[in-house]
Amino acid sequence: MAISPARIAAFKALSAIARERVDLPSALAHSRERLHDERDRALTATIVTGTLRWQRTLDHLIAHVANRPLSKLDAAVIVIARLSLFQILHLDRVPAAAVVDDAVNLTRTAKVPSAAGFVNAVLRSTLRQRHRLPLPERPASTDARREDALTYLGITLSHPDWLAARWLDRWGFEQTERWMQFNNHPAPLTLRVNRLRASREVVQRTLDEEDVITATTRYAPDGLVVTSGNPLRRPGDGTFLVQDEASQLVALTLDAQPGERILDLCASPGGKTVAIAASMHDSGLLVASDVRPKRVALMRDTIRSSGATHVRLVHVPPEGALPFQRVFDRVIVDAPCSGLGTLRRDPDIKWRRSEGDLPALAAAQIDLLTRAAAVVRPGGRVVYATCSSEPDENDQVVREFLGRHPEWHAIDLRREAPAGLGAVLDEHGSLRTLPFAHGLEAFYAVAMELRAA
């Protein structure tokens, strides 16, 4: 029997990720290259992303049926069991019999035919128990023992223990549970309208005429959430870009003005750059830079299609002083980070990151922020932003920077409240989106000003 092309592609992608060779976007792009049917491409993405999202829960079920730790099983067998269990438990439209048959056949493709009986047993045993799975139950009380809460949050809601413990201690049980449930639901496709080309109302009407139905975003003034249809099938005309709502809000904290000199230091893939250019009414000077030459080339296409004419692209070195004088009115540093705030869209990060990664990331972020601050004119502003949930990369980085540089001070953005930001600013006037509070990924941004000497 022929195996579904989508399942073969999903197996290859998940195997590559399990070997820690690639991240989720790269694995998906490579595995779907030979899939020409859009339905197969969509199913592959659903299986891969969903399997990673529920990986720890699936591993618990596999180990329960096997009655042995996963370390005793072949890596390919684990991947086959994971992706097949995910389909049985979470994809109602996929016939269970087809999943089981393809799983058994995949063991032969993966050259582990002796595991066919084991995989078959795992899947059929789970099918019999699917309405009462052997998973840790939710504690009856929010005052339950910390150990019981962490077991439920980690295994049943499929998150690493170290992250569950951090969120539980910082936010409490109910908010941590809501955050994890948020991460375990697929993210909608969100667009940001390019105001250099058209208004949000015009783009929404145009998409509606093409049977792509959208709703306006709750906070971002230029965002549209796709509720049905696929806007990416239409020829690109530069009127919108794909960008999550929380990410759209980061550019607003810069409060870019027409005629200014602005640097977008970590600009790739270019979504923020286009948003800033629109806020500047495509005037002044906007420099977009990145340390990776390929990313600079990618941005060139994005900027060209956006219609922005006052943007200059610059490749900058990864270390040392930036190739600019102290001339910029505003600089935005959307710093490379752990990505722990984007687990809904990138669930592989849960399993690729560890708590031990945070100190090195924070050190690099402080260095990058210091380099950026050196090119801001007196009275100018720098915005530091991440898509991380952790204070190690957010508040602590800002405190460390301000402690070393007393000539800088944080700005309370509540005094300015640019459109869309008022409801997502914390008690210090910094942007802080939280899944359980705003229904958005966890992003952070703080604006700082260099005192005019």
Antiparallel, parallel or unpaired: β 444-450 and 431-432:
antiparallel
What pLDDT was estimated at residue 419? Answer: 67
> Domain coordinates of the chain in residue numbers?
5-129, 146-183, 190-242, 247-450
Within 54-192, residue ranges assigned H as helices are 55-66, 75-90, 96-109, 116-129, 146-151, 161-171, 173-183
> Does domain 190-242 match CATH 3.40.50.720?
no
Architecture of domain 247-450: 3-Layer(aba) Sandwich (3.40)
What pLDDT was estimated at residue 131? Answer: 87
Contact 251, 205 (CB under 8 A): no
Q: Torsions phi, psi of 415, nearest 5?
A: -75, -25
Q: How far apart are CA 430 and CA 409, in angstroms?
A: 13
The pTM of this model reads: 0.94
What pLDDT was estimated at residue 1? Answer: 58
User: What residue type is 380 in one-letter code?
Assistant: G
What pLDDT was estimated at residue 158? Answer: 98
What pLDDT was estimated at residue 452? Answer: 83
What pLDDT was estimated at residue 408? Answer: 97
Contact 362, 314 (CB under 8 A): no
pLDDT tens profile 331-352: 999 999 999 999 999 999 999 9
pLDDT tens profile 399-426: 999 999 999 999 999 988 676 688 999 9
What pLDDT was estimated at residue 296? Answer: 87
Q: Which CATH superfamily is domain 5-129 in?
A: NusB-like (1.10.940.10)
User: What residue type is 376 in one-letter code?
Assistant: V
Give 211-218's long-range contacts (Cβ < 8 A, gap of 24+).
217/190, 217/245, 217/248, 218/245, 218/438, 218/439
74 token code pair: 């072949």
Residue ranges, the chain, pLDDT below 50:
none
